[in-house]
Structure 1
Amino acid sequence: MGSRRSETLASSLVTGINHAMARLVDIWDSIGIMEEQRIERMQTVKKYIEDLLTDMISEEESLRHRIKASIITTQKQLDTLCLELSVEPYKLEENLTVLQMEKDLRCRLETLQKEKVERLRELNDLRQQDEELCVTLCATPYYIPSGSMPSHTQLQELREHIKKLSEEKENRVKVFSGLREDIRSLMDELGHEPETSLERESVCSDTDIFLLTHENITALKLLLSQLEMRKVTLISTRDKLKDRATSLWNRLCCPEQEASEFKQEALKTLSDDIRRWQNSVDRLEVLQKAKLEEVTEKVRQELLVLWDKCMFGPERREAFSAHFCDNHYTEELLALHDHELQKVKEFYDTARPLVESIEKWERHWALFQDFERKAADPSRFSNRGGSLLKESKDRAKVQKLLPKLEEDLKARVEAWEMNQGTAFLMRGQRVMEYIAKQWEEHRILKDKEKNERISKKAENSQFKTPTKRAHGQANSGVTPSKIRKTPSQSALRTMTMSGSSTVSSTFLCVPGKPPISAKQKVKTSEAGSGSRMPLQDFNSDKKVNSISYSDFTNELSRKADHDAVLNSTVKDML
């Protein structure tokens, strides 16, 4: 469509020139201009038109040259910018005119130039933020070569780097704020004034002067731990002074109205509180010098109580006996007593769990021995009201608990001796040796009581001639025959004669009918040996063994073998 219009326009231009020339010829004819003059005038018109067209053609040629030069220049700039911005080179579309090519390249160049400006501006902003964070955190800035154009990847990495630094700064600020508050609080509590530059910076209200580096944070944590340790030390010092003042106050029997400072609450700072208690101790120690004898005797009474609590034996106490029995009261003697008292207190504090375990075992051991004594008392069978059943349950509970207490005590003693590197002595003996000795003494006592009962029973049986009717027999004066000795009885008698402490004849003297097993043995004996009754054997001069009810129940609990005889009507025959 455009080409047809341009062709039409060109034809009309030729037609116009032809009409103009025809009009000029008509004018020349009317004027009467001769041919030569016409030719001259036509040449002038021709030259004018040709010069005009030539100028126009020259201008258009120049325009085309400029456009082509611009295309070349723009293409070079665009290629350089694409390389600088790390983007793909720009490719023109095909079948474009020179003018379209120039326009497209120029628009693309302007776009990339704007992007370059934006990148440089963003880079400057990000670099500024990065430098500030790195200065605060003493970190390494993100590296981008100076004078280079950052790529999209580099800018993104720089953004992420700044984000991480910002988060790290936020975390460090929280840590620093917490540490600063704790340090400030501890300093106020201790009454401590900042001395070093670190202490001053840590409590300063201007937080910007403190660089949030790992080293500074570590230094603050170390400072906090030192202040906490100092607090523990001061509290320990304050408590020792308070205990010392209280001990002196009790020793000196100070009036109650002077105890106001003891009832006073702790002061605001530990330093002030320590000074207060130190003044009290100093004042009471001056007063103590005037009452050396009275105070020393009171310390000795405290030592006696603590020695008993710690279960010290004679050897341990004799180490201090020279000072304990010294009647020459001096400040040095009192200081020795105070030192010994402090040592014993520290020992008791260390060994207190073990001592309490020993005391618990001793309480249950006393209960066990008390139950054993009650078990040997025959009068307890006349009990009414269920106390015998309760006693039996309590005794079983104690018997079950004692081994557990001894196992726990053994483990505690071993752990204590391993930690302390020395043996724990209980009244001069090893703990487990002491317990074993108690059990051995208990066994010997039981054997002694048993032998005494057997001897007493044998002596009484020599002067008695007990008789008993046979079961179901009338009072006809006929004496039942003796029971034949069984093999098991003979074996049992032989073991009794040999002094065995583990197996013995057992009798249960219960009024009324004999046990069923005894009836069966009586019938068997009557069938084999005539009419002799079992109780007639008491008329002989043989010895009879007897044991308590507790031994009888223990014999039953052991489930004795067939040789054991648990019957009051059958006796061992020597």
Structure 2
Amino acid sequence: METSSLRKRFTDLQDLDMDMIKGITWAEQMWRTLLTGLTKTFLNWTQVALKMSNNEEDLQEWVQVFTEHYEDTCCELVSDIEYLKSTVIANIESLLQRVESLCKTLKIEMPVLDIDSSCLYKVQHQLKKRVEELEHSVETRRRDLNKLRQKQLELCKSLGREPRVIDDNPLPSSDEILDFQNHIERLEQEKFDRFEKFCLMKEEISLMTRELNVSPSTEFEKNVLSQDDSKFMVTDENMKDLECFHKSIKRQLENVKEEISHLRSNVDHYWDLLEISLQERQEFRQKYTGNSVDVLDALRLEVRRCGDLKKANIKVFVDKLRNELTTIWEQCHCSESAKEDFSYYISDCYTEDLLELHEIELKKWKAYYEENKEMILLLNKHMKLWNKMIELEESATGPDRYNNRGGKLLKEEKERNLLSKQIPKIEDTLRELAYKYEKHHGYEFRTFNKTIEEYIYNMHSDRENARKEKLSARKIQREQPMLTLTPAKSALCLFPGSITPSTMCTSKRKLFDNPSTDIRKKIKTSSRLVATEPKKNKSKAYKGIIPKIILSTTSQSKRLSTERKKRIEKIRRQSVLKQRNNNLRHENVSSTESEYMNFENEVSSRVDCRSTINPFLVPLPDTPAPATKTPVKSISKQGSSHRTRPDHGTPTNPKFSAAKTNLRMNF
């Protein structure tokens, strides 16, 4: 550097105040060191110069050289420190640019640095530290991004998809990296789900192929059923092919099962028609089990074989089908017109078409039965209960209805009450089912060519007509003339009060043995007179008048033995028991019996009318007939009792008293 320029620069230095270094330790110490060194240097230099010469010119020359060297040295020192400052500033600028570049790469904002208020070296240090941090973040993010890319590449290859493209300059932001990670996680989950689905489908396909007894044919099917699962890639295309393969195998198995079931049904039908032995059937079933293709082929061959045999025995099979048709027609409550609609039933042209027509007709009625099975079974149940109710009603009016052995009357009454509750419920259910049938099919359901309403109405109508016919028959029987009676009963009606129940048994036998015998000669004179004395019974079951039997006490004491007294007491005890049973029965008496009792009471109240059913209860001419007829027991010599009026109870305490008569009874 030239001396003139250095001097000029020295002169251009600022005139600063010494106060600027106050409080700065290193500056004050350096200033003291410089003053001390400059003083020593100046004094030593002066001493040497004075010793060398006293010439003013020489000393002035030496002083100028010393001064110039000093100024140059000072300028160099300042220049060095300024150069160092510029170097630091340049470094700071470079670091700032690096920070800016890294922030752009990381897609973050530029950090704010307080350069003015901070020392340059401190700023430089801070920037260096920030650059190191940013470079580490960039390196870490780039490394993570590469890993995610590699992972995505593998997953997309497994799934058969294109990978997502993501740039690294600038690097993706944290949010973008997080979204990319979520994308990869979804790919992993989808791969896991697909693999799980593949395992399940593979297991199902394996089971179905084993059941069908088939082997894989294509390379894809072999990869699916391979023991090594890694051979199968869960790509979109492979998964679609896998689903198609699974559906096809499943459809094939269903078709095979359906066809095998149909063929087995046909084989059983053919076996029944051909009357194949049970042993041969069992051997075939044991040999061909399952739903494999081999079983299907075997069943097809068996059907073909049985079909050939069937063609050779068409007439036999047609007759069997006609028997089955007759049975199913009866089960379906078919009318004659419905049967006549199938005109081929009476055809004698035995061909394969005729056999097929019978099979179609049989299937039609079987399907009809299955469709309306509930209503048909309910109709059968209704018919059964109805017949049982009619049977109980007939037994309730039969001559032996009071043979109450083991509580028979009470059991029948309970059964009647149960039937009276069950039958209306069944009829309501039948009406409801018939309404649903008509609503669904558009026409009414028919049982033996009758609608449900007609069927129920006819049942009740027939029952009511039968009841009225019975009442009419009883009325006609009561109004028959006395000549229609048997000889013994005619005698009783002609001579009321002359024959007692005890003499009826002996006289009847004699009259039938010899009809020409004079009745009056066979009857002995008797002082007994049978009469009725009205007496009110306190029992709830009898609101009418219970007659008494009044006998002569004199003849009674003479004729009744101790044994007969015991029998009478026994009969009275039995009467009490029967009275209790009749009371129970009377509480649930039917409307028919009530009407009959009213009719009987009305007839009994007439003096000029006599009962044609019980000849023993003929009122005397002088005795008014009771308003209500009640049962009277006749006691024979053997002590047997005869019920004369089954519609009423038996008196619990019959009494005997004496009475005179104008007729003599001959024994």
Match of 1:535 among 626, 649, 652: 626
- Are 1:405 and 2:426 matched, yes or no? yes
- Hey, what's the Cα distance between the residues in 1 that align with 2:432 and 2:628? 55
- Hey, what's the Cα distance between the residues in 2 that align with 1:201 and 1:119? 40
Q: Which residue of 2 aligns with 1:468?
A: 532
8 A contact 1:173–1:212 mirrored in 2: no
Q: Which residue of 1 aligns with 2:181?
A: 159
Match of 1:298 among 305, 320, 323: 320
- Hey, what's the Cα distance between the residues in 2 that align with 1:404 and 1:316? 29
Q: Which residue of 1 aligns with 2:235?
A: 211
Displacement after TM superposition at 1:503 (Å): 9.2
Q: Which residue of 1 aligns with 2:560?
A: none
After superposition, the Cα gap between the structure-2 partners of 1:10 and 1:384, relative to the gap in structure 1 and judged at 3 Å, is: same
Match of 1:310 among 326, 332, 355: 332
Which deviates more from structure 2 when the two are superposed, residues 190-199 or residues 417-426?
190-199
Structure 1, unmatched stretches of 5+, are 478-499, 511-530, 539-546, 553-574
- Hey, what's the Cα distance between the residues in 2 that align with 1:46 and 1:128? 74
More helix by share: 1
Counterpart code for 1:150:
P
Q: Which residue of 1 aligns with 2:143?
A: 121
Q: Deviations over 1:327-355 (max 9, x none)?
A: 34333333333333333333333333443
> Aligned to 1:429, what secondary structure does the other structure show?
coil
8 A contact 2:99–2:130 mirrored in 1: yes
Q: Deviations over 1:223-279 (max 9, x none)?
A: 655654544443232122222222222322234442343441653543222222222
Q: Which residue of 2 aligns with 1:246?
A: 268
Counterpart code for 1:344:
W
- Hey, what's the Cα distance between the residues in 1 that align with 2:549 and 2:319? 83
Displacement after TM superposition at 1:291 (Å): 3.0
- Hey, what's the Cα distance between the residues in 2 that align with 1:228 and 1:468? 94
Alignment map for 1:338-357 (pairs within 5 Å): 338-357=359-378
Q: Which residue of 2 aligns with 1:488?
A: none
Displacement after TM superposition at 1:203 (Å): 4.9
8 A contact 1:201–1:210 mirrored in 2: no
- Hey, what's the Cα distance between the residues in 2 that align with 1:362 and 1:456? 32
Q: Which residue of 2 aligns with 1:453?
A: 474
Match of 1:55 among 66, 76, 98: 76
Q: Deviations over 1:452-480 (max 9, x none)?
A: 23333444899867952133999699xxx
Q: Which residue of 2 aligns with 1:10?
A: 31
After superposition, the Cα gap between the structure-2 partners of 1:296 and 1:18, relative to the gap in structure 1 and judged at 3 Å, is: same
8 A contact 2:322–2:345 mirrored in 1: yes
- Hey, what's the Cα distance between the residues in 2 that align with 1:460 and 1:14? 183
- Hey, what's the Cα distance between the residues in 1 that align with 2:76 and 2:441? 119
Counterpart code for 2:273:
R
- Hey, what's the Cα distance between the residues in 2 that align with 1:537 and 1:113? 130
> Aligned to 1:383, what secondary structure does the other structure show?
coil
- Are 1:367 and 2:458 matched, yes or no? no
Q: Deviations over 1:487-529 (max 9, x none)?
A: xxxxxxxxxxxxx99994634999xxxxxxxxxxxxxxxxxxx
Q: Which residue of 2 aligns with 1:518?
A: none
- Hey, what's the Cα distance between the residues in 2 that align with 1:432 and 1:548? 37
Q: Larger Rg: 1 or 2? A: 2
Displacement after TM superposition at 1:101 (Å): 1.7
Counterpart code for 1:469:
E
Q: Which residue of 1 aligns with 2:557?
A: none
Q: Which residue of 1 aligns with 2:555?
A: none
Match of 1:98 among 75, 100, 120: 120
8 A contact 1:169–1:212 mirrored in 2: no
After superposition, the Cα gap between the structure-2 partners of 1:318 and 1:118, relative to the gap in structure 1 and judged at 3 Å, is: same
After superposition, the Cα gap between the structure-2 partners of 1:423 and 1:504, relative to the gap in structure 1 and judged at 3 Å, is: closer
Q: Which residue of 2 aligns with 1:390?
A: 411
8 A contact 2:471–2:596 mirrored in 1: no
Displacement after TM superposition at 1:318 (Å): 1.8
After superposition, the Cα gap between the structure-2 partners of 1:387 and 1:158, relative to the gap in structure 1 and judged at 3 Å, is: farther
Displacement after TM superposition at 1:385 (Å): 1.9
- Hey, what's the Cα distance between the residues in 2 that align with 1:430 and 1:196? 63
Match of 1:437 among 458, 483, 486: 458
Structure 2, unmatched stretches of 5+, are 1-21, 497-529, 537-547, 553-590, 602-621, 630-644, 649-667
Q: Deviations over 1:117-144 (max 9, x none)?
A: 3223323333444455456557797786
Q: Which residue of 1 aligns with 2:207?
A: 185
Displacement after TM superposition at 1:16 (Å): 1.6
Q: Which residue of 2 aligns with 1:481?
A: none
Which deviates more from structure 2 when the two are superposed, residues 165-174 or residues 304-313?
165-174
Give TM-score scaled by structure 2 length. Answer: 0.64
8 A contact 1:311–1:427 mirrored in 2: yes
After superposition, the Cα gap between the structure-2 partners of 1:296 and 1:412, relative to the gap in structure 1 and judged at 3 Å, is: same
Match of 1:506 among 587, 597, 621: 597
Alignment map for 1:227-246 (pairs within 5 Å): 227-246=249-268
> Aligned to 2:390, what secondary structure does the other structure show?
helix
Displacement after TM superposition at 1:92 (Å): 2.7
Displacement after TM superposition at 1:61 (Å): 0.9
- Hey, what's the Cα distance between the residues in 1 that align with 2:263 and 2:44? 138
Give TM-score scaled by structure 1 length. Answer: 0.73
> Aligned to 2:372, what secondary structure does the other structure show?
helix
Counterpart code for 2:626:
L
Counterpart code for 1:397:
L
- Hey, what's the Cα distance between the residues in 1 that align with 2:351 and 2:159? 65
- Hey, what's the Cα distance between the residues in 2 that align with 1:429 and 1:229? 47
Displacement after TM superposition at 1:383 (Å): 0.9
Task: Percent identity, please.
Answer: 24
- Hey, what's the Cα distance between the residues in 1 that align with 2:138 and 2:280? 87
Counterpart code for 1:209:
M
Counterpart code for 1:118:
T
- Hey, what's the Cα distance between the residues in 2 that align with 1:315 and 1:397? 37
> Aligned to 2:171, what secondary structure does the other structure show?
coil
8 A contact 2:191–2:234 mirrored in 1: no
- Hey, what's the Cα distance between the residues in 2 that align with 1:354 and 1:262? 39
After superposition, the Cα gap between the structure-2 partners of 1:474 and 1:66, relative to the gap in structure 1 and judged at 3 Å, is: closer
- Hey, what's the Cα distance between the residues in 2 that align with 1:156 and 1:287? 78
Counterpart code for 2:345:
F
After superposition, the Cα gap between the structure-2 partners of 1:20 and 1:502, relative to the gap in structure 1 and judged at 3 Å, is: same
Q: Deviations over 1:61-85 (max 9, x none)?
A: 1221122233334334434544554
- Hey, what's the Cα distance between the residues in 2 that align with 1:207 and 1:365? 75
Q: Deviations over 1:418-460 (max 9, x none)?
A: 4455544322333443233222222222222232233334448
Q: Deviations over 1:126-181 (max 9, x none)?
A: 34444554565577977866744322222223333333343344334333432333
8 A contact 2:344–2:354 mirrored in 1: yes
> Aligned to 2:476, what secondary structure does the other structure show?
helix
- Hey, what's the Cα distance between the residues in 2 that align with 1:415 and 1:139? 58
- Hey, what's the Cα distance between the residues in 1 that align with 2:207 and 2:313? 43
- Hey, what's the Cα distance between the residues in 2 that align with 1:263 and 1:83? 82
- Are 1:171 and 2:193 matched, yes or no? yes
